[in-house]
Structure 1
Amino acid sequence: MILLFFISIGLSIGYIFLLQWITEGWEVFIPNKGGNPSIKVSIIIAARNEDANIANCLSSIYKNKYPQELLEIIVVDDQSQDRTAAIVKEQFPQVMLLHTIKNRGKKAAIQLAANRAQGELLMFTDADCIVPEKWLDTLVSNYNPELVNFIAAPVQIDLEDTNLSRFQYLDVAATMAVTANGILRKSYYSANGANMAVTRKIFLELYSSRLDDEIASGDDMFTVQYLAKQDPSKITFVRSLDATVTTKGEETLSDLLSQRKRWAGKSRHYPEKNIVLVQGYVFLLVAMMLFNLVFGFMTNVTAVFIAVLMLFIKITMDYLFLSHLCKHNRKEEATKKYLISAAFYNLYILFAGLVAMFPGKYDWKGRRLN
């Protein structure tokens, strides 16, 4: 029991230091890279069954003041079963509209667009995202081909007054902090495909030699991690509200779990494993809580008190960490009813960890994928 106590408390203390390390890394100041505002940019959007969102997404892009002659927008209709393609064609005739032929998923759609793109810099977002009015200027100003070939930038959930929305907002905010910390410290590498940019030439060279084509998603993580193996110094993260895109959260718990299953299931294929170590540590912490709880009820009640102590430490530290992030994002209301989000989050960590270890098929936008 003494050994169990020291292991459990050691994990909790380690978690405190982990959050402090992530917070300090997230706050690292990276100066503007002196980018050229006159380069041609190609924005790529892979869309499947997004007729409710695609017009708002494209309209938000056109609200940016970037010179139109230097802006190319490519929408790839990925076998949509609704009016996604028709809306683009009717309302945005200036947009290049492509169609996938094979039912291979988002990565194949992105590769199709990249092969047709003319811009020096490829920028990616999703069809259900809204970009801020200075998004293009902010990312381009941080692009300098001599210093940077990949830019990761923040994504946030469109916050609504529901427990599910608040949980998703906090989860994604924490993920963005973890992403920024890894990139800015050059410790591990991750990104979100809803908001990233990469040199077109580098991207095309990378795609020709990649070995993850059998995985339907993961264009973001695989791209940044393959590039990190080549030259991590040219990967940066732009921590700015002007660079932050907003995406819709999942409307039902079933859809959320399906999305997270898709995210977690590809982690075992990552070419760079340091990010998995960070995720694995948090999973181990929560698994130890559960073990103490079950062990305590079955044999020794002292273990229950250890589990409660671990949970108290984690919930408290998470609250301080997330409150700090929400204050920066000007979304303090996301921590409303925090205990509900905290309870679900710890269960979700167990779910994600098990899915990462034992991945299977999942349903996504009418498809059954690996």
Structure 2
Amino acid sequence: MILISAILILYALLIVFLCFGFKRLKTDKLKSASTHLTSFSIIIPFRNEAENLNTLLESLSNLNYPKSYFEIILIDDASTDASVALIEAFKQQAEVSIIVLENERFSASPKKDALTKGINTAQFEWIITTDADCKLPDLWLQHYDQKIRAEDSKFIAGPVSFFTSAGFLDRFQQLDFLSLQGATIGSFGLLQAFMCNGANLAFSKTEFLILNGYAQTDHLASGDDVFLMQKFIKEIPEKVHYLKTSEALVLTQTQPNWKSLIEQRKRWAAKASAYTSWFAVLISLLVLLGNASLFLVIFYPEIWPLILLKIAVDFLLIWQTASLFNQKKSLIYFPLVAVTYPIFTVYIALASQFGKFEWKGRVFNK
């Protein structure tokens, strides 16, 4: 009973600190357009994304940035659908440089291999990564350009959320992701960044090469974003920043069913055992134990006040993120998600550390 209470209190304190960090991190506002623009190489791996590429390519063509100041590099990871044909057709009428490459496998991580090939091909100093199932905001590159110049950054994490759609599964994913983004922003505000998302990430190519890129972590299928950030933080922590603005928000697709969602989250969670950040380990443990404690309320009804405290601080963090991203309508689903989320979280945490997971039609070991 005492141990359970202590875990829930520590969990609540952690989320409160993340909420404080969220508030502490200033929101980035776009000022007048710069006359000295940064050049970007946008790197996008893809595998069988024909149904999503039109949205991505249209958003790329709508970027409010001089076309001569960025290039698009797409790396095909053995697609068997019409993805390549769609890109080739788009190239014919595009006003920006587009390069399509074939992935070359040399590690256990197809995505890291594809990113490495794209980065090595890139002609510009600043690399931006995103995914093929995303939609990019019009002012995306303008915000990155301003951030780089204002703060002399070398690594910048940007915000990511899901397209808004109906149905409990989609709302569950959206609220879950809002909590992850809230924790990400809060950790940056506390100067203890431990998480980011490769769907919206920018970094210096020179520093990437100096740090040997994805070496030492390419035996893991995922983690191209987090482990790279940890390298930057270890060497130049003062150059690692977060782009806190809804105008740079990248939208991506939710998983279509529970099976796909479980496989995705197992892949994400599988890398947790390789974390080197003490803060990341602490948060992972407290989140797991805090959610697992909810199952014990049947045996210890005295902890109900602490359960309600946990739910309240969870809501506060999600509300902050939803307000920033203009997605507060999804909060109506919070009570139902609050009930189902502990079961989902504990299952994923355990399942991810044992056995295999499926991703893009391939099976990977942990």
TM-score, normalised relative to structure 1: 0.90
Residue 202 (1) aligns with residue 201 (2): no
* Backbone CA RMSD of aligned residues: 2.2
Aligned residue in 2 for 1:368: 363
Aligned residue in 1 for 2:233: 228
Instruction: Give the C-alpha shift of residue 327 in structure 1.
Output: 2.4
Kindly provide the amino acid, as one letter, of the partner of residue 68 in structure 2. Answer: E
Between 1:56-65 and 1:73-82, the stretch displaced more is: 56-65
Where 2:241 maps in the other structure, the secondary structure is: strand
List gaps (5 residues or longer) in structure 1: 297-302
Distance 2:345 2:278 in 1: 18
Kindly provide the amino acid, as one letter, of the partner of residue 47 in structure 2. Answer: R
Where 2:225 maps in the other structure, the secondary structure is: helix
Instruction: Give the C-alpha shift of residue 98 in structure 1.
Output: 0.4
Between 1:132-141 and 1:23-32, the stretch displaced more is: 23-32
Instruction: Give the C-alpha shift of residue 331 in structure 1.
Output: 1.3
Distance 1:215 1:145 in 2: 34
Aligned residue in 2 for 1:300: none
> CA 1:229 to 1:291, structure 2 compared with 1: closer, same or farther past 3 Å?
same
TM-score, normalised relative to structure 2: 0.91
Instruction: Give the C-alpha shift of residue 30 in structure 1.
Output: 6.2
Distance 1:326 1:320 in 2: 10
Q: Provide the identity percentage.
A: 29
Instruction: Give the C-alpha shift of residue 314 in structure 1.
Output: 2.1
Distance 1:10 1:344 in 2: 23
Residue 261 (1) aligns with residue 258 (2): no
Residue 138 (1) aligns with residue 137 (2): no
Aligned residue in 1 for 2:123: 118
Instruction: Provide Cα deviations, 1:55-101, integer angstroms capped at 9, x if missing partner.
Output: 21121022112111111000001111111111111122441000113
Instruction: Give the C-alpha shift of residue 171 in structure 1.
Output: 1.1
Distance 2:274 2:29 in 1: 33
Residue 174 (1) aligns with residue 179 (2): yes
Distance 1:33 1:133 in 2: 12
Aligned residues of 2:266 and 2:349 also touching (Cα < 8 A)? no
Residue 353 (1) aligns with residue 349 (2): yes
Instruction: Provide Cα deviations, 1:153-205, integer angstroms capped at 9, x if missing partner.
Output: 11001121111111111111111111122223222322100001000111122
Aligned residues of 1:323 and 1:332 also touching (Cα < 8 A)? yes
Aligned residue in 1 for 2:101: 98
Runs of 4+ displaced beyond 6 Å: 30-36
Distance 2:226 2:15 in 1: 22
- 1:1-370 equivalences under 5 Å are 4=1, 6-27=2-23, 28-29=25-26, 37-93=36-92, 94-102=97-105, 104-144=109-149, 147-207=152-212, 210-293=215-298, 296=299, 303=300, 305-356=301-352, 358-370=353-365
Where 2:41 maps in the other structure, the secondary structure is: strand
Instruction: Give the C-alpha shift of residue 207 in structure 1.
Output: 3.0
Kindly provide the amino acid, as one letter, of the partner of residue 368 in structure 1. Answer: V
Where 2:65 maps in the other structure, the secondary structure is: coil
> CA 1:167 to 1:200, structure 2 compared with 1: closer, same or farther past 3 Å?
same
Aligned residue in 2 for 1:299: none
> CA 1:30 to 1:334, structure 2 compared with 1: closer, same or farther past 3 Å?
closer
Instruction: Provide Cα deviations, 1:87-117, integer angstroms capped at 9, x if missing partner.
Output: 1111224410001133851110000000000
How many residue pairs get aligned? The number is 356
Higher-RCO chain (CA-CA 8 Å, sequence separation at least 6): 2
Instruction: Give the C-alpha shift of residue 31 in structure 1.
Output: 6.3
Aligned residues of 1:23 and 1:321 also touching (Cα < 8 A)? yes
